[in-house]
Amino acid sequence: MTSSQAASSARWVVPLVDVLVDDELRSLVDEVVDSGWWSMGPRVGEFEAAFAELTHTTHAFAVANGTAALHLALLAAGCGPGDEVILPSLNFVAAANAIGHTGATPVFCDIVGTDDLNLDPADLEAAVTPATKAVLLLHYGGFPCDIAAVRALAAERGLIVIEDAAHAPGASWHGEPCGSLGSVGCFSFFSNKNLPVGEGGMIVTDDDDLAERLRLLRSHGMTTLTWEKHRGHAASYDVVAQGFNYRLDEIRAAIGLRQLSRLPEENAQRRAIAATYRDRLADVEDISMPFGAVADGTTTAQHLFVLPRARLTSAPSPDRGNRSAHHHLAALRAHDGRAGRPRCPRPQRDAPGRLDTLREARRDQFSKRPLAVLLDDLAVELDSAALT
């Protein structure tokens, strides 16, 4: 380990990523390698079927990553130049990028506040214009957003609802799984996610027309997969759309299937660990802990445990030209190029008590597999000018 690696690893209090590697996982990967067929094939099909089951949907498409999932979902929904797509401002940059790549314009709406980091339905409504085509909502940190309000608005204004469920595999709203709450749902299997594969993503939908477009767009608009030809089930193919190569491979599908089987147990562990954090941090001054009261009927995937800075608790401004701190925070994330970079909690000379509390909380945790924690309070290097 170099000294800079040592210095940076010393700053971590709670790891952002901690994947479980065991012999079963290794043997599943070996099996694929030994099979001699590594590109999209039967394991991808199995992974898709299992994911459709998890999300209670009729179609699931495995793709190369969560950003590809968002891009394809937006394209399949018909988003393009001249359209506006509304997304919550507290977000990862992938959603705004994916919207931009379709030619549509990302339009940010605010979040509810520091207790609820999901989109504010009232601000969503205020952001709708005649050009609005879709809402790309996010279940922030694995907590389902207020889908009832979004659905009502979407029905009234003719909007397509796309879910960024990257944080929310296994989460649900009144028994309906996240990913199935709108027209099309997108997941990410990046290493820090609840279902870590390295890279990978999934798109789910009940809509047959969307499904057909997704199927074509994922693989160059080709009517037949190479796997079909490999098995001798097809001799040729046609190209009927301008698509992409956003396919997933067999090795990742095998890992994904294994991770999916562990998801319910691991999500339960995350919830239990979060409860421990909540308990141990209850007396710490100057922090707030969002999503304290999980909305009735919702099950969280508890992807993140977020501690916003106290100074972000200012009330949102009603003036759209001078948006709230939440908006600035997210706009910064979406556009400053640093968005989404893993944040290392670093000791703060003025707040040793907080770190000690966190260390203690971690020491006491009863699982080998820690919760991925976004320690905004200690870790995000915010430009204070952007928050005024």
Ligand X SMILES: Cc1ncc(COP(=O)(O)O)c(C=O)c1O
Least Å distance, CB 190 to ligand X, is: 4
133 is an interface residue for ligand X by CB under 6 A = no
**Least CB distance to ligand X at residue 343 (A):** 13
Instruction: For residue 328, give the DSSP letter.
Output: H
The residue among 66 and 169 lying less far from ligand X, judged by its C-beta, is 66
Nearer to ligand X, 10 or 17 (CB): 17
Which range in 128-136, 164-172, 210-218, 258-266 contacts ligand X by CB under 6 A? 164-172
- Residue 143 interacting with ligand X (CB under 6 A): no
CB of 307 to ligand X, least distance (A): 18
354 touches 378 (CB < 8 A): yes
**Binding residue for ligand X, selected from 47, 51, 61, 92, defined by CB under 6 A:** 92
Q: How far is the CB of 196 from ligand X (least distance, A)?
A: 10
Q: At what angle do helices 352-363 and 250-280 cross, to 10 degrees?
A: 120
- Order of strands, edge to edge, in the sheet holding 298-299? 176-177, 172-173, 298-299
Residue 179, interface with ligand X (CB under 6 A)? no
Please return the burial class of 337, using the count of CB atoms within 10 Å of its CB with bins 0-12, 13-18 and 19+.
exposed
> Which of 55, 67, 118, 324 is in the footprint of ligand X by CB under 6 A?
67
Answer yes or no: 193 catalytic.
yes
With vertex at residue 61, the alpha carbon angle to CA 251 and CA 264, rounded to the nearest 5 degrees, is: 70
Binding ligand X (rule: CB under 6 A), the pick from 52, 94, 137, 161 is 94
Q: How far is the CB of 197 from ligand X (least distance, A)?
A: 9
Contact, 291 vs 141, CB < 8 A?
Answer: yes
Q: Per CB under 6 A, does 196 bind ligand X?
A: no
The minimum distance between CB 230 and ligand X, in angstroms, equals 27
Contact between 346 and 379 under an 8 Å Cβ cutoff? The reply is yes
Beta bridge partners of 177: 172
Choice from 188, 299, 302, 365 touching ligand X (CB under 6 A): 188
Closer residue to ligand X (CB): 164 or 377: 164
* Binding residue (CB under 6 A) for ligand X from 55, 57, 65, 132: 65
Strand 132-138 and strand 160-164: the pairing is: parallel
What phi and psi values does residue 299 have, to the nearest 5 degrees?
A: -115, 125
Q: 133, 193, 229, 368: which one is catalytic?
A: 193
Q: Does 248 bind ligand X (CB under 6 A)?
A: no
Q: Does 190 bind ligand X (CB under 6 A)?
A: yes
Task: Tell whether residue 201 is a contact of ligand X (CB under 6 A).
Answer: yes
Residue 242: how many CB atoms within 10 A of its CB?
10
Under rule CB under 6 A, residue 142 binds ligand X: no
For CA atoms 53, 57, 58, 63, give the dihedral sign. Answer: negative
As to burial, measured by CB atoms within 10 angstroms (0-12 exposed, 13-18 middle, 19+ buried), residue 223 is middle
Q: DSSP labels for 171-191?
A: -EETTEETTSSSSEEEEE-BT
Contact 219, 4 (CB under 8 A): no
Q: Which residue is nearest to ligand X (CB)?
A: 66
Stretch binding ligand X (CB under 6 A), from 87-95, 107-115, 202-210, 217-225: 87-95
Residue closer to ligand X by CB (options 65, 118) is: 65
Q: Which of 167, 309, 327, 354 binds ligand X (CB under 6 A)?
A: 167
Apex 223 CA angle, 221 and 225, nearest 5: 95
Supply the residues annotated as catalytic. 193
Q: Which residues bind ligand X (CB under 6 A)?
A: 65-67, 92, 94-95, 138, 164, 166-167, 188, 190, 201
